[in-house]
Structure 1
Amino acid sequence: MGALSRAALALAALLGVSSAVLEVHVGTGSVFSVEGQQVVLPAWYTSSSQKKPYITWLLDKDDADPFQILTFLDGVVKVEETELKPRVGFLYPIVTHNISVFINTTRERDSGQYMVTVNVVDEVASARRNVGVINLTVLVPPAAPRCQLHGDPAMGANVTLSCTSRKGKPSPTYQWQRTAPNLQFYFPPAQDHARGTLKLTNLSLEMSGVYLCVAENRAGSANCSIALEVHSTSTKAVIAGAVMGSLGALAIVAFFTQRLIGYRRRKRDGQEEAANEIKEDAVAPKTPSWARRAASDTISKTSTLSSLGGARERPYGPSPPSDTASVLTAATSYRGPPPRPGGRAPNLSPPASNGTAPRRDPPPGPASLPPSSLARSGAVPVMVPAQSRAGSLV
């Protein structure tokens, strides 16, 4: 029995020591805070020792290695040189074994994993029991969103309303609605809560009004609004059509003007080329050398031809006046001088008995007109060839 009693007492002593082993406790593994507010990370430790503990708070972030932010050593609190220095501290005196810390004016960058370790000189600490871990998430309310209209709000057209907030953690969701007096809510697929878009199709005048967008997350909410005015015609389309029409008219006018100028230029060049060809190819008419001779020479030749023609025999009776006389008569309308009193009449004797044509005095020759009169009347001397009895030209 004595041996058993001693073994039981030894076991009880071991159990009592083990119950007094140093251990760290946390109130919760996750803490949420709203940006700008204060947050408390709850933690305490148990120990039977009356010695002062050695306490260290560290921050482990995804983008950096763990670093110290707060320590308690030999009864002195020390805040490390971090961006938390003016905003962090112990919430209660250390003698109470409450080692909770506070963080004022939290920021989004304060989010991360906070670890606290406690060590006492005369205490035995088992593995990982003297460490506490708390995850802090600093929430950011949505910033004031921006409402926009995409498209032309004409009757029968489609438009999209968008709502975007540049800041928010977690990402905000969006809710569109039309405000009073025509209150109306919209649901998918017309509305995309994650992207903040609202699609309105086949617009009508009754769809005009003020549309409100609310961006919301766990930290808070913000809103914006936009006035939608549906019109019957597209002002932009009218303006664009007028501009395009004007440009088209100017282009047509410029085209035809250029064609007209080109046509006139080609016509003028063609006329100039034709004139140049005529000037180069045409040969100036030459005045007969005999036309520049003296008038007496012309009259003499004409008289000689007339005399020769009259001296020949004409078996067919009297012939009409000579061609030279006809030409002179047609050109000058001159039919010979009037008969003079006591003058000799033309020889009109009957034909001779031997069958030959009677001889006829030649008509008055052009010698009866002065050369100046013939020149003014435009007469041109013509030489008529003699005719043989057989009818051939000599």
Structure 2
Amino acid sequence: MGALRRAALALAALLGVSLAVLEVHVGTSLVYSVEGQQAVLPVWYTSHSLKEPYITWMLNKEAAPIQILSVMGGKVKVEETALKSRMGFLYPITTHNISVFINTTREQDSGQYICSVNVEDDTVKNVGLINLTVLVPPAAPTCQLHGNAVVGANMTLSCSSKKGKPSPTYQWQREPPTLQVFFPPAQDRARGTLKLTNLSLEMSGVYVCRAENQAGSKNCSIVLEVHSTGTKAVIAGAVLGSLGALATIIFFAQKFVGYRRKKRDSQEEGANEIKEDAVAPKTPSWVRRPASDTMSKTSTLSSIAGTRQAYGARAPSDTASILTTTGSYRGPPPRGGGRPPNLSPPAVNGTPRRRQDPAAAPVGSLPPSSLARAGAVPVMVPAQSRAGSLV
């Protein structure tokens, strides 16, 4: 380019023609910016012409360059919608400094920017190129454990970030009081994995992963707790035992509540139910028997009593008694063959005789008051002969 310009100037001098020279200068061809910050694309031009320039800025994407900013007749126009409120010139156009800024940069702002300047009197056109790269800091990574944390086993710790440009690298370390930094092959910085082999109880602790790139870094941490197999089995057994005991208590409680409810319901139904088919109580057989049967039993008892002891004989005991068929108490027979003191005398010609005065009862018989206190009930007994037959 310099040789061509010198040749043009030499030719113009030989021909005596005045020729203005235009040249575009670029401060740097590579510009880096962090997402969310401002990016500056430094460009200026030189020209001896006093005419206003025509300036255009284009962004070269994968498909084709698109015009994003232009200056014509001193008026600035931003044509890209995404950059309309974020892009502009740093200085007035009259200073020949045509550097632009982009506020709050985004990842999609990355690309090749092309600046071209045209002046009416200048016969030479020049173009400036700048590559912009917007860096994206890593997002907060996620730490995970893979494997069984028991003594003697192997485990893998993983760390990954869903966002970051360029792709972040990862670094694992164990936090104090036992500080430990890991290196390959145990650690894979690109994948973010850390392999721990032959675990021991001393390897328990807090492990921190740092994801980083040129834009920044973010951390995540995870707690590794190594257990012995015996401890784990004891804990599992205790948990299962507690659950079994709780299930047993609940089962018996439900059974007890159901039994009480069933018993209460049955009692309420029995109290409210009217039993129409209930069987009447049976009448004792002795009530249905005729009076002749009763009389025959009385005669038989009397006969037995007469055969065992003759009239006039002394009773073995003054307290001996005979239980009648009606359940009344009958005292011992009187001495001398007299009638029982508690019985009425037999009737003569249909007229009952007067009851003997208790005071006149033979000696050895119980008075009526004693019989009454004993619960005796007067019973009509037919008169008997000495042979035991009814009179």
TM-score tier after normalising by the smaller chain length:
0.5 to 0.7
Match of 1:51 in 2: 51
- Quick one: distance in 1 between partners of 2:115 and 2:64? 15
Match of 1:119 in 2: 118
Match of 1:208 in 2: 204
- Quick one: distance in 2 between partners of 1:115 and 1:14? 35
Match of 2:69 in 1: 70
8 Å CA contact retained: 2:12, 2:19: no
Tell me by how many angstroms 1:66 deviates: 1.1
1:229 corresponds to 2:225: yes
8 Å CA contact retained: 1:154, 1:234: no
- Quick one: distance in 1 between partners of 2:10 and 2:26? 32
Q: Which amino acid aligns with 2:103?
A: N
Amino-acid identity (%): 76
Give the direction of change, closer, same or farther, for the CA distance of 1:12–1:155 in structure 2 (3 Å limit).
same
2:132 is aligned, of 124, 131, 136, to: 136
Larger Rg computed on CA atoms: 1
1:165 corresponds to 2:161: yes
Tell me by how many angstroms 1:182 deviates: 0.3
Give the direction of change, closer, same or farther, for the CA distance of 1:16–1:234 in structure 2 (3 Å limit).
farther
- Quick one: distance in 2 between partners of 1:191 and 1:179? 16
Match of 2:61 in 1: 61
Give the direction of change, closer, same or farther, for the CA distance of 1:67–1:122 in structure 2 (3 Å limit).
same
Aligned residue pairs: how many? 231
Q: Give me the TM-score of the superposition, normalised by structure 2.
A: 0.55
Structure 2 regions of 5+ residues with no counterpart? 1-8, 241-391
- Quick one: distance in 1 between partners of 2:196 and 2:30? 42
Q: Give me the TM-score of the superposition, normalised by structure 1.
A: 0.55
- Quick one: distance in 1 between partners of 2:47 and 2:71? 16
Give the direction of change, closer, same or farther, for the CA distance of 1:131–1:11 in structure 2 (3 Å limit).
closer
RMSD: 2.5
Tell me by how many angstroms 1:125 deviates: 1.2
Match of 1:151 in 2: 147
Aligned positions of 1:203-282 closer than 5 A: 203-233=199-229
8 Å CA contact retained: 2:54, 2:73: yes
Give the direction of change, closer, same or farther, for the CA distance of 1:233–1:45 in structure 2 (3 Å limit).
same
8 Å CA contact retained: 1:20, 1:46: no
- Please state whether the residue corresponding to 2:219 is helix, strand or coil: strand
Q: Which amino acid aligns with 2:69?
A: L
- Quick one: distance in 2 between partners of 1:91 and 1:103? 10
1:98 corresponds to 2:92: no
Give the direction of change, closer, same or farther, for the CA distance of 1:158–1:70 in structure 2 (3 Å limit).
same
8 Å CA contact retained: 2:69, 2:80: no
Tell me by how many angstroms 1:81 deviates: 3.6
- Quick one: distance in 1 between partners of 2:27 and 2:16? 25
8 Å CA contact retained: 2:12, 2:18: no
Match of 1:37 in 2: 37
Tell me by how many angstroms 1:15 deviates: 10
1:193 corresponds to 2:192: no
Tell me by how many angstroms 1:55 deviates: 0.2
Aligned positions of 1:81-92 closer than 5 A: 81-92=80-91
Instruction: For residues 224-263 of structure 1, give each alpha carbon's deviation from its aligned partner in whole angstroms, at most 9, with x where no partner exists.
Output: 00000000028888899999xxxxxxxxxxxxxxxxxxxx
8 Å CA contact retained: 1:32, 1:136: yes
- Quick one: distance in 2 between partners of 1:10 and 1:208? 81
Match of 2:21 in 1: 21
Structure 1 regions of 5+ residues with no counterpart? 1-8, 244-394
8 Å CA contact retained: 2:169, 2:213: yes
